[in-house]
Structure 1
Amino acid sequence: MSHTTRVLRSEWTKIRSVRSTLWTLATALAVTVGLSAVICVFTASEFDSMSTGSKLTFDPTYTSFAGMSLGQLAMIAFGVLVVSGEYSTGMIRSSLSAVPQRGTFLACKTVVAGGLVLVVGMVTSFVTFFVGQALLGEHGASIGDTGVLRAVFGGGLYMALIALFAMGVTFVLRSPLLAFAILMPFFFLISNILGSVSATKKVAQYLPDQAGNTVTSVVPEALDRPYGPWGGLLIMVAWTAAALLAGWFVLKKRDA
């Protein structure tokens, strides 16, 4: 068995042996599906009273992912816990003693955690879509409609990327309290506030969450952005890559 394979197995053992990390993934699925379902029910009941303009730009696919704004917080919590557990328990010293190649250590942790959140993100995205469209009824969309399958796959990718972004930030901060104190308020409040204020809206649309979730949009008129769905996801990829690169730099330069 190669050294890298052993490190990958070790990282998988760490993740599945900590209940809190697995519970956060289950919470991400439940919250996203549940909140999206509630929003779709209310949307369907109020659809006839909507303005003509709102009806013309109505995006049933994007609406079915409305709960993702809250479900992503659980994905962020997963990313924080996967990394911060190393530091809060002091396990980081043992981990780096066993794997002195710090780039290999970070890469293996990212691959294992990333694969897991990708699977959970895809399951969450598909379940959320089908439940949402069923509740929207005649106002819903079909998986075969133009752009819909891309949006559903994109939703799963977005949820995986947000968790990896949180991992990179936590490698930089090295503290669960600090990571939660910065990431949770930012994505739950600050980003939304900046996106709703005209003076900061043009800047806010390039933030990771606001750019990334455009991939779940099918109707271009529903979102006023200077980039398309894939462009938004690429911005999110760039944020994630920058966070992981910063995490690697800190991990390499600082003692455990």
Structure 2
Amino acid sequence: MRHATRVLRSEWTKLRSVRATRWTLIAAVLITAGLSALICVFTRADFDNMSRRSQATFDATYVSFTGMGIGQLAMMAFGVLVVSAEYSTGMIRSSLSAVPQRGLFLVCKVAVATGLVFVVGQITGFGTFYLGQWLLGSHSVGITEPGVLRAVVGAGLYMTLIGLFAMGLTFVLRSPVVSFIVLMPFFFIVSGILSSVGATQKIAHYLPDQAGTTIMAVVPQTLDRPYGPWGGLLIMVGWTAAALVAGYFVLRERDA
């Protein structure tokens, strides 16, 4: 137990010493809040021009999180940098010499990162929600309305899982460049293409971002998915767990 505590402290020290990780988390908050606020302003101005159907199914909560589609890029960058910084600097050799139990090493690194991104994710979720609702004015909703608190907390959980998924993938690929080359097309190109084609929409529904975002929707008509909000988040948890397990096996089998 004492050894695990020392490893956790060591990982926290390493995490704080990499300035880029700090800036990526700040960027995740600012980009998400900034873009969401801008979209809420435009939505409020154009609300009267929407069709009656669109007005009737308007999801003010989901609209306040629309900037998260770009903001998640910064959270991906955090996950990549937390892992790849050790490989690019060669520190991974010292880390594994000090902690030869590679499972313990990975668990402690992931635990420290999870705690940090969870806090940042919740700050992002609540801050973005309240800012967005203020800008939506008379079209806003309160956090006590059915499903809203779940969506706000879920937005933070989504951001947390994005960071952890990126960490798992980076443990597999080791290189920050290769990790970004895989992550960015997967989330920003492949997912969009599959979801826009009728023949592949059912497949797209089970991709991590497509499934995870359902937790942020309150109005059922907002997203057409064959599962509910918590079911979608559970699918994303499965993707994240698979990435971390794959990262563990690569870490265990390969030399630093």
Alignment match, 1:214: 214
Measure, in 1, the Cα distance between the counterparts of 2:38 and 2:252: 46
Distance in 2 between residues matched to 1:193 and 1:70, nearest whole Å: 17
Matched AA of 2:75: M
Q: Which amino acid aligns with 1:219?
A: V
Matched to 2:224, the amino acid is D
Runs of 4+ more than 6 Å apart: none
Measure the CA separation in 2 of the matches of 1:163 and 1:232. 17
Aligned to 1:227: 227
For 1:16 and 1:184, the matched residues in 2 are separated by: 25
Three-state SS of the structure 1 residue aligned to 2:97 is helix
What is the TM-score normalised by the length of structure 1?
Answer: 0.99
Contact between 1:70 and 1:188, CA under 8 Å: does it hold in 2?
A: no
1:124-179 CA-to-partner distances (Å, cap 9, x unmatched) read 00000000000111111100000000000000001000100000000001111100
Partner of 1:156: 156
Query: What residue number does 1:10 align with?
Result: 10
Which structure 2 segments of 5+ residues have no match? none
SS in 2 for 1:116: helix
| 1:88 equivalenced with 2:82 (yes/no) | no
Q: 1:46 is matched with which residue?
A: 46
- Report the AA paired with residue 178 of structure 1: V
**Structure 2 CA distance for aligned equivalents of residues 224 and 36 of structure 1:** 22
Instruction: Give yes or no for the alignment of 1:253 onto 2:253.
Output: yes
Q: Could you tell me how far 1:81 is from its partner in structure 2?
A: 0.3
Matches within 5 A, 1:100-179: 100-179=100-179
Q: Distance in 2 between matches of 1:190 and 1:27?
A: 24
Residues in 2 aligned to 1:43 and 1:112: alpha-carbon distance in whole angstroms: 38
The separation in 2 between residues aligned to 1:196 and 1:47, in whole angstroms, is 25
Number of residues of Structure 1 aligned to a counterpart in Structure 2 = 256
Query: In the TM superposition, what is the alpha-carbon distance from 1:193 to its structure 2 partner?
Result: 2.0
Whole-Å separation in 2 of the counterparts to 1:122 and 1:72: 13
The one-letter code of the counterpart of 2:243 is A
**Which whole-Å deviations, capped at 9, do the CAs of 1:22-48 have from their partners, x for residues lacking one?**
000000000000000000000000000
Q: Which amino acid aligns with 1:110?
A: V
TM-score w.r.t. the length of structure 2 is 0.99
> Does structure 2 retain, via aligned residues, the 8 Å contact 1:122–1:155?
yes
Aligned equivalents of 1:149, 1:75: Cα separation in 2: 22
Shifted more, 188-197 versus 220-229: the winner is 188-197
Give the Å deviation of 1:197.
1.6
State the alpha-carbon separation in 1 of the partners of residues 48 and 133 from structure 2: 17
2:94 counterpart of 1:55: no
In 2, are the aligned partners of 1:78 and 1:163 still within 8 Å (CA)? Answer: yes
Q: Describe the superposition over 1:181-211 as per-residue Cα deviations: whole angstroms up to 9, x where unpaired.
A: 1102221222122212212111011000110
Q: State the distance in 2 between where 1:129 and 1:31 align.
A: 14
Task: Measure, in 1, the Cα distance between the counterparts of 2:193 and 2:160.
Answer: 24
Question: Alpha-carbon deviations, 1:42-87, whole Å to 9, x = none?
Answer: 0000000000111111100000000000000100000000000111
Query: Partner amino acid for 1:171?
Result: F
- Counterparts of 1:174-189 in structure 2 under 5 Å? 174-189=174-189
Share of identical aligned residues, percent? Answer: 70
Aligned residue identity for 2:213: N
d(CA) in 2 for partners of 1:172, 1:21? 19
